[in-house]
Amino acid sequence: MFAEIITIGDELLIGQVVDTNSAWIGQKLNKIGIEVLRIVSIRDREDEILEAIDNAMKRVNIVLVTGGLGPTKDDITKQTLCKYFHTRLVFSEEVFENIKRVLAGKIPMNALNKGQAMVPEGCTVINNPVGSASVSWFERNDRVLVSMPGVPQEMKVVMTESILPKLHEKFQTDVIMHQTFLVQHYPESVLAEKLELWETALPESIKLAYLPKLGIIRLRLTGRGQDKKEVRALLDSEKAKLEKILGEDIFCEEDTPLEVIIGELLKKKKITVSTAESCTGGSIAARLTSIAGSSEYFNGSIVAYSNEVKMNLLYVSPETLERHGAVSEETVIEMVKGAMKALKTDCAVATSGIAGPGGGTPEKPVGTVWIAAGYKNEIRTYKQETNRGRSMNIERAGNNALLILRDLLK
Amino acid sequence: MFAEIITIGDELLIGQVVDTNSAWIGQKLNKIGIEVLRIVSIRDREDEILEAIDNAMKRVNIVLVTGGLGPTKDDITKQTLCKYFHTRLVFSEEVFENIKRVLAGKIPMNALNKGQAMVPEGCTVINNPVGSASVSWFERNDRVLVSMPGVPQEMKVVMTESILPKLHEKFQTDVIMHQTFLVQHYPESVLAEKLELWETALPESIKLAYLPKLGIIRLRLTGRGQDKKEVRALLDSEKAKLEKILGEDIFCEEDTPLEVIIGELLKKKKITVSTAESCTGGSIAARLTSIAGSSEYFNGSIVAYSNEVKMNLLYVSPETLERHGAVSEETVIEMVKGAMKALKTDCAVATSGIAGPGGGTPEKPVGTVWIAAGYKNEIRTYKQETNRGRSMNIERAGNNALLILRDLLK
């Protein structure tokens, strides 16, 4: 069973907005055995929307359209769908009541919001409990087209609550299963060489993909077939072979963010964590606290950009800074100790480096980051040396800090 | 002049990777007067790649293809392009030398890397100074197709250094100009109503779009035409009218991240900033330090998730926490003062709230965030009350904190 996603909006084409909806939709469809064949982003123009819809309806059974449903004039998806399906907009009392409920108290209702209660005649209107844009479900010759708002939060709610269950019910679907392995310690080509014999011998119905990401390689096995048990068994047998080859270098058997892996580990051990961050600027703390329930194991952080803060709040000695510099193994060791002491935690990570683009020297070029992780009396350090630009240097340092902490806690 | 972007990779369709390349490319092409008509993401399958390329080459003059150039077996873009252009792969000594240089010292060269030195015969090979995948530039009947790596950092370097200049030189291009205004204090529909008369009277060649984003609405005016000066003059005249209508609610006249706006303001005033973060967990600090050169005005932060850290490091009094709770106006006022004192800065922001999904009470439901900004002796507070899910609650609180700080510094 195949689907196509069409995202509508000039802002996507001129690059003002990154399309994150499609990836989310792709994941969810996959879980119910629907494969996305194509994602197409187009402008808010009638002829382009008509062409894209027409092509998609010829190619696949399921067409999911997002965007172009706002109250403002630049949005024309609803009218264009009416044209394609030879129907017209009619007023829906039910949608109007929902809009009033959604806006209640927050925004005074005006003519533009009222216009959002106009829906295509002859389609099934699906309730949008969190927004004023309505959702339309069209069926033609066993093919389905659904038009949804482009606002991610609204799209996610209507997909989860209504559209995914309806699609699952309507279509008999093939089984697609993914398993992702997170691997550390390898550049991509070296890993590929190590896995070559195994990869060549993979059965037809199983595919392998490499997805490198700043110090981590995600290896994804995809199996497909008619029978869930059979696909699972095939994947499990390949997984066993892979584990034999890579052993401990596989640090997780699903595509889980490092901050979740660490969180689970801390909860299991009933211990707390903190961070002392210079060049990562609070981004490790932000990652750890992005997880719901992190207050159970995360106490706090000290972002120490200036040397003064390193000395005053993290107890780094002036002599260490003087003799070895802020970007040094000695400094991050004192920082990680300082974090555990000041924030009273069982473990901590610390970073200090030159994220760039400025600030490099011949001895410590841009991209140099010293990282430490501490747990009770044990401390491990790591020197990161590649320069891939400020934001990637920061993200990679965060990955490395959490990987070292994980090794230490294991 | 129109372009189409084709991104290739199963990981995009199953949603494992978000396509951020296309938005970046769209922005850059726009700046040289090339408009992106369509973005298409497809799987690593020969027939699908051939079809997408063929359609694009019929529709537009410029086709930019990313992805599928890695050393591993799942990548087939190069071979498929050879098929489409009726050519074959030949060994390039020059590319081979570049690969050796790029990998030097980091990774031992193996057969897979050597395979990357095979390039399509008859195309122009463009140097990739930062990676081992080569870039191919094909020309057919005045149309151009460029195949680039999908790794964002490599794509950006080859686009900036080689492809954009070559496209600009080859094609005579129409002028497209955007101007974006950042507006605060309005829900979208209320703003649209306020601007309706002006919007209706906009000249044909100017388009308006609304892009709401967690407390901020970005208004984008797009003008196009033959003559740069004329387009600029038209945009300027509409800009003047818009400013008359919205006045101070427009807080920036370009699409600049808030952390950049704040950074500029702090540099101009030669003052320093810090943050005291509870529910935002360091994400405001991470935003401020994502800007190169932020060490000039950013001293540090204290992420105070636990009450103990709020008391010990930010001097919040136990009585305040006892009487008003951690999520209260009184607490964020003491936090912001504590940050300025402990981190020795001229100004600061503080947040404390219930990001969710758990932790809400009838009096303080999920989504409640108290925010404070302080500058010298003046402190402003704000209570954020909508709940749009954990990550958006956190991001919105960051936006509001920086908006309030900006108002205070102005």
Q: Do A24 and B15 touch (CB under 8 A)?
A: yes
Place of tokens 């991240």: B257
3 state SS for chain A: CEEEEEEECHHHHCCCCCCCHHHHHHHHHHHCCCEEEEEEEECCCHHHHHHHHHHHHHHCCEEEEECCCCCCCCCCHHHHHHHHCCCCEEECHHHHHHHHHHHCCCCCCCHHHHHCCEEECCCEEECCCCCCCCEEEEEECCEEEEEECCCHHHHHHHHHHHHHHHHHHHCCCCEEEEEEEEECCCCHHHHHHHHHHHHHCCCCCEEEEEEEECCEEEEEEEEEECCHHHHHHHHHHHHHHHHHHHHHHEEECCCCCHHHHHHHHHHHHCCCEEEEECCCCCHHHHHHHCCCCHHHCEEEEEEECCHHHHHHHHCCCHHHHHHHCCCCHHHHHHHHHHHHHHCCCCEEEEEEECCCCCCCCCCCCCCCEEEEEEECCEEEEEEECCCCCHHHHHHHHHHHHHHHHHHHHC
The answer to whether A300 contacts B306, with C-beta atoms less than 8 Å apart, is yes
Residue corresponding to tokens 């106006």: B329
Q: Tell me the shortest Cα–Cα distance from B278 to chain A, in angstroms.
A: 8
Are B13 and A19 a contacting pair at CB < 8 A?
no
Query: What does the angle CA A215 – CA A221 – CA A223 come to, to the nearest 5 degrees?
Result: 165
Q: What is the pLDDT of residues B310-353, one digit of tens each?
A: 999 999 999 999 999 999 999 999 999 999 999 999 999 999 99
Q: What pTM does this model have?
A: 0.78
With CA atoms as reference, the chain B residue closest to A37 would be B42
Q: What is the DSSP letter of B290?
A: T
Q: Which site among A64, A130, A160, A302 would you substitute to test the B interface, given the most B Cβ atoms closer than 10 Å to its Cβ? A: A302
Structure tokens at A213: 């990401």
Which comes out higher in pLDDT, residue A297 or A178? Answer: A297
Pairing mode, strands A175-183 and A250-252: antiparallel
From B229's Cα to the closest Cα of chain A, the distance in A is 21
CB contact under 8 A, A193 and B112: yes
The per-residue b/e assignment along A195-222, b for 16 or more CB within 10 angstroms, e otherwise, is beeebeebeeebbbbbbbeebbbbbbbb
Closest approach of B379 to chain A, Cα-based (Å): 23
Pairing mode of beta strands A369-375, B369-375 = unpaired
Q: Residue B83: CB partners within 8 Å, gap ≥ 6?
A: B46, B50
Q: Does the structure show a pLDDT above 70 at B105?
A: no
| pLDDT for the residue B398 | 97
In chain A, residues with a C-beta closer than 8 Å to the C-beta of B394 are 290
* Mean per-residue pLDDT, A334-355: 98
Please report, rounded to a whole number, the percentage of residues in chain A having pLDDT higher than 90: 80
Least confident of A47-61, A169-183, B241-255: A169-183
Amino acid B113: pLDDT: 79
Q: Which residue has the higher pLDDT, A232 or A389?
A: A232
Contact B306 A299 (CB under 8 A): yes
pLDDT at B109: 73
Q: What is the DSSP letter of B208?
A: E
∠ CA(B98), CA(B99), CA(B103), 5° rounding? 120
Mean pLDDT of B199-217: 91
Q: What are phi and psi of A206, to 5 degrees?
A: -120, 130
pLDDT given at position A42: 97
Nearest to A41 among B38, B187, B284 (CB): B38
Instruction: For A236-262, write each residue's pLDDT tens digit.
Output: 999 999 999 999 999 999 889 999 999
Of A70, A285, A313, the CB nearest to B281: A285
- DSSP H/E element including B309: helix B307-314
The Cα A126–Cα B69 span in angstroms is 42
Q: DSSP readout, B311-323?
A: HHHH---HHHHHH
User: How many other β-carbons are positioned within 10 Å of the β-carbon of residue B30?
Assistant: 20
Task: State how far the Cα of A206 lies from the Cα of A200, in Å rounded to an integer.
Answer: 11
Q: Which chain A residues are within 8 Å of B224, Cβ to Cβ? A: none
C-alpha A106: how far from its chain's center? Answer: 30
**CA of B230, closest CA in chain A: separation in Å?**
21
Residue of A nearest to B36 (CA): A13
List the single range of A394-408, B161-175, B364-378 with lowest mean pLDDT.
B161-175
Nearest residue of A to residue B25, measured between CA atoms: A15
Residue B180 falls in which region: left (phi positive, over 0), alpha (psi -120 to 50) or beta: beta
Question: Distance (Å) from the C-alpha of residue A395 to the closest C-alpha of chain B?
Answer: 10
* pLDDT over 80 at A351, yes or no: yes
The model's pLDDT over A30-77, given as tens digits with 9 standing for 90+, comes to: 888 899 999 999 999 999 999 999 999 999 999 999 999 988 888 899
B215 pLDDT more than 90: no
Task: For residue B343, give the nearest of A10, A281, A309 by CB distance.
Answer: A309
Q: How far apart are CA B39 and CA B46, in angstroms?
A: 18
pLDDT for the residue numbered B106: 66
> What confidence score (pLDDT) does residue A110 get?
79
Q: How far apart are CA A26 and CA A31, in angstroms?
A: 9
pLDDT at A105 over 70: no
For chain A, the average pLDDT equals 93
Mean pLDDT of chain B: 93
* Residue A207 with chain B: CB contacts under 8 Å: 10, 74
Residue B189 pLDDT: 87
- For residues A218 and B258, what is the distance between their CA atoms, to the nearest angstrom? 33
Please give the residue of chain A at the shortest CA–CA distance from B30: A14
**How far does A380 lie from chain B, in Å, by closest CA?**
23
Report whether pLDDT(A381) > 90.
yes
| Closest CA of chain B from A37, distance in Å | 6
Residues recorded for chain A: 410
Sequence-ordered list of residues with C-beta below 8 angstroms from that of A139, at least 6 positions apart, any chain: A124
The string over B170-198, giving b where at least 16 C-beta atoms fall within 10 Å of a residue's C-beta and e elsewhere, is ebeeebbbbbbbbbbebebbbbbbebeee
**Distance of alpha carbon B396 from alpha carbon B386, whole angstroms:** 10
The structure tokens listed for A248 are 């401990």
CA angle B154, A390, A277 (to 5 degrees): 145
Distances (CA, A) of B184 to A110, A247, A407: 19, 53, 46
Neighbours of A309 (CB within 10 A): 24
**Angle at CA of residue A257, ends A255 and A258, nearest 5°:** 120
Tell if the CB–CB gap between B303 and A306 is shorter than 8 Å.
no
Instruction: Please answer yes or no on whether A281 and B299 come within 8 Å at the CB atom.
Output: no
Which pLDDT band, with edges at 50, 70 and 90, does A106 fall under? low
Residue A309's pLDDT band, with cuts at 50, 70 and 90, is very high
How many Å apart are CA A64 and CA A40, to the nearest integer? 10
| Closest A-chain CA to B354 | A292
Pair type for strands A2-8 and A62-66? parallel
CB-defined contacts A:B, below 8 A: 318
The pLDDT score that the predictor gives to residue A188 is 86
Instruction: Give the residue from A277, A288, A278 showing the smallest Cα distance to A349.
Output: A277
Nearest to A365 by CA among A340, A339, A383, A344: A383
Domains in chain B, please, with CATH?
A: 1-168 (3.40.980.10), 173-250 (3.30.70.2860), 256-407 (3.90.950.20)
**Maximum CA pair distance of chain B?**
79
